[in-house]
């Protein structure tokens, strides 16, 4: 439970220690504190402790009110700075109330007081998200290397997310044992990059995720970025051809340059089957050049040398040729979930839901062929249907009805329209009447 008084004293003490110890750097500050003090790509001392910075760092709305009753605090009415009148007394007060968990989450204080709580500074720093993963640092780096026009063009090509902006967690995913094994190996490779470089093992860290839409390829890549505290750089390869054809190869090079600049990072290339689609002889020469540039760029980038974990993803592995396959050192299969996995997925995604007589095993039996993405859509519909009846508690029957509705809509989506019969599928349609509205009532697109 939050303690505003303790939170503000911790903030004041952290800034005081940081300002006085030049051996500490940005990676020692808790991420919520760093976000307040970034300026032009750096954090400069002294850190200013005003009502505004204290609120932004801690979430406490009235910082001075929280600590004004303490004997060792004061506020400058002119500058708004909140300070200690007696730092020794402040330290004693804080250490009497803090615990090891609080210090482990704050390397600055772990460096100063960790021994009293059995907290090692090195461990606290290692567990602290590095500054290079902060949104502010990412933005400053992009501003430094690209002018405004170049940055706008680049952001049209790639989606860049800081780890804290990734809303997917590994705990939210249900993985096969093979997927877990491959992810564990790559995590170990990242942890031991220096060792791999020393022994000359550099051809590692290029994964290809293959499987149908909705089976979790993008979700796993994003969750991995959050788990490893790495920026996530995503490019859809089909998008790089949406610009002027003559710029396509340059766009490919630019996206790889962004990944290198933000390293260490995860570089996720979706729609990798785009490579195969350009092999036919009638493709535009500019597109062919772009594909050759892409393959060459993949060859030249490295987890060991460049600190870039490259992940490709495709829904159509059958379309890839040998030139594409051999660029990757690991292939990770993402099949549609079996009955057991579907039950586990349902358990995970309903953790925060109130469901009477919930039986995920029965639901798993009647959802053969559905992906994890499909199951989330089913649950969404069940929740929305219940809300129309002013209910936030669901029943097993709600879930089973939602499965039936989903399958009915999915069948309609896949119907082949027969000339002359289209009006039969339009509510209120009259033969010969134009009912086209340009929309689709149920969009079941899959990631």
Between CA 202 and CA 49 the distance in angstroms is 46
The per-residue DSSP string of 218-229 comes to: HHHHHHHHHHHT
Q: Where are the alpha helices (DSSP H) in 301-371?
A: 303-306, 322-325, 339-349, 360-365
Q: What is the pLDDT of residues 78-110, one digit of tens each?
A: 888 999 999 999 999 999 999 999 999 999 999
Tell me the mean pLDDT in the region 147-169.
Answer: 80
Which pLDDT does position 213 carry in this prediction? 92
Give yes or no for a contact between 398 and 359, defined as CB atoms under 8 angstroms apart. no
- What pTM, to 2 d.p., does this model score? 0.79
Which pLDDT does position 422 carry in this prediction? 43
Which pLDDT does position 412 carry in this prediction? 64
Between CA 80 and CA 68 the distance in angstroms is 13
Closest CA to 360 of 348, 372, 377, 370: 348
Which pLDDT does position 440 carry in this prediction? 39
Q: What is the pLDDT of residues 305-341, one digit of tens each?
A: 899 999 999 998 888 888 888 889 899 999 999 999 9
Residue written as tokens 């600590």? Answer: 67
Which pLDDT does position 333 carry in this prediction? 95
Closest CA to 395 of 442, 439, 433, 362: 362
Structural domain spans, the chain: 4-128, 135-333, 339-415
Between CA 35 and CA 54 the distance in angstroms is 11
CATH architecture of 135-333: 3-Layer(aba) Sandwich (3.40)
CA angle 277, 278, 282 (to 5 degrees): 115
Which pLDDT does position 322 carry in this prediction? 83
Between CA 217 and CA 212 the distance in angstroms is 9
Class of 339-415 in CATH: mainly alpha
Q: What is the pLDDT of residues 285-298, one digit of tens each?
A: 777 777 888 889 99
What is the rounded average pLDDT for all residues in the chain?
86
Between CA 75 and CA 308 the distance in angstroms is 47
Cα torsion 425, 429, 430, 433: sign: negative
Q: What is the pLDDT of residues 431-446, one digit of tens each?
A: 444 433 443 333 333 4
Q: What is the pLDDT of residues 187-234, one digit of tens each?
A: 999 888 889 889 988 778 899 999 999 999 999 999 999 999 999 999
Identify the three-state secondary structure at position 31.
Answer: helix
Between CA 313 and CA 269 the distance in angstroms is 6
**What is the band of 360 on the pLDDT scale with cuts at 50, 70, 90?**
very high
Between CA 157 and CA 45 the distance in angstroms is 36
Give yes or no for a contact between 368 and 328, defined as CB atoms under 8 angstroms apart. no
């Amino acid at each position: 439970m939050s303690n505003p008084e303790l939170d503000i004293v911790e903030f004041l003490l952290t800034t005081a220690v940081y300002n006085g110890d030049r051996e500490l750097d940005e990676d020692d500050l808790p991420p919520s504190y760093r976000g307040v003090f970034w300026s032009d790509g750096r954090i400069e001392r002294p850190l200013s402790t005003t009502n505004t910075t204290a609120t932004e760092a801690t979430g406490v709305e009235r910082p001075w009110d929280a600590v004004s009753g303490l004997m060792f605090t004061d506020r400058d009415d002119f500058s708004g700075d909140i300070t200690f009148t007696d730092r020794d007394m402040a330290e004693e007060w804080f250490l009497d109330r803090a615990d090891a968990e609080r210090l482990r989450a704050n390397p600055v204080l772990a460096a100063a007081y960790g021994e009293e709580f059995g907290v090692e500074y090195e461990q606290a720093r290692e567990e602290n998200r590095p500054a290079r993963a902060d949104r502010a640092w990412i933005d400053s780096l992009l501003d430094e290397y690209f002018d405004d026009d170049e940055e706008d063009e680049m952001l049209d090509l790639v989606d860049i997310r800081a780890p804290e902006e990734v809303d997917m967690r590994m705990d939210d995913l249900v993985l096969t044992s093979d997927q877990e094994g491959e992810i564990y190996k790559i995590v170990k490779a990242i942890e031991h990059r220096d060792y791999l470089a020393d022994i000359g093992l550099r051809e590692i860290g290029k994964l290809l995720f293959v499987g149908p839409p909705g089976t979790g390829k993008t979700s796993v890549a994003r969750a991995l970025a959050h788990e490893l505290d790495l920026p996530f750089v995503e490019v859809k390869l089909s998008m790089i051809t949406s610009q002027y054809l003559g710029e396509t190869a340059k766009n490919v090079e630019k996206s790889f340059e962004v990944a290198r600049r933000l390293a260490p990072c995860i570089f996720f290339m979706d729609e990798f089957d785009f490579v195969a689609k350009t092999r036919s002889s009638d493709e535009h020469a500019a597109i062919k050049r772009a594909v050759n540039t892409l393959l060459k760029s993949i060859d030249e980038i490295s987890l060991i040398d460049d600190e870039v974990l490259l992940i490709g993803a495709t829904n159509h592995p059958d379309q890839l040729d040998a030139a594409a396959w051999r660029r990757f050192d690991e292939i990770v299969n993402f099949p549609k979930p079996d009955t057991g996995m579907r039950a586990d997925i349902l358990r995970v995604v309903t953790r925060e839901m109130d469901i009477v007589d919930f039986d995920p095993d029965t639901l798993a039996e009647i959802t053969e062929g559905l992906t994890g993405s499909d199951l989330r859509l089913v649950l969404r519909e069940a929740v929305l249907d219940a809300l129309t009846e002013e209910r936030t508690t669901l029943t097993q029957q709600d879930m089973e009805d939602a499965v039936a509705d989903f399958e009915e809509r999915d069948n309609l989506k896949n119907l082949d329209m027969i000339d002359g019969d289209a009006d039969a599928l339009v509510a209120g349609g009259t033969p010969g009447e134009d009912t086209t509205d340009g929309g689709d009532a149920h969009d079941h697109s899959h990631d």
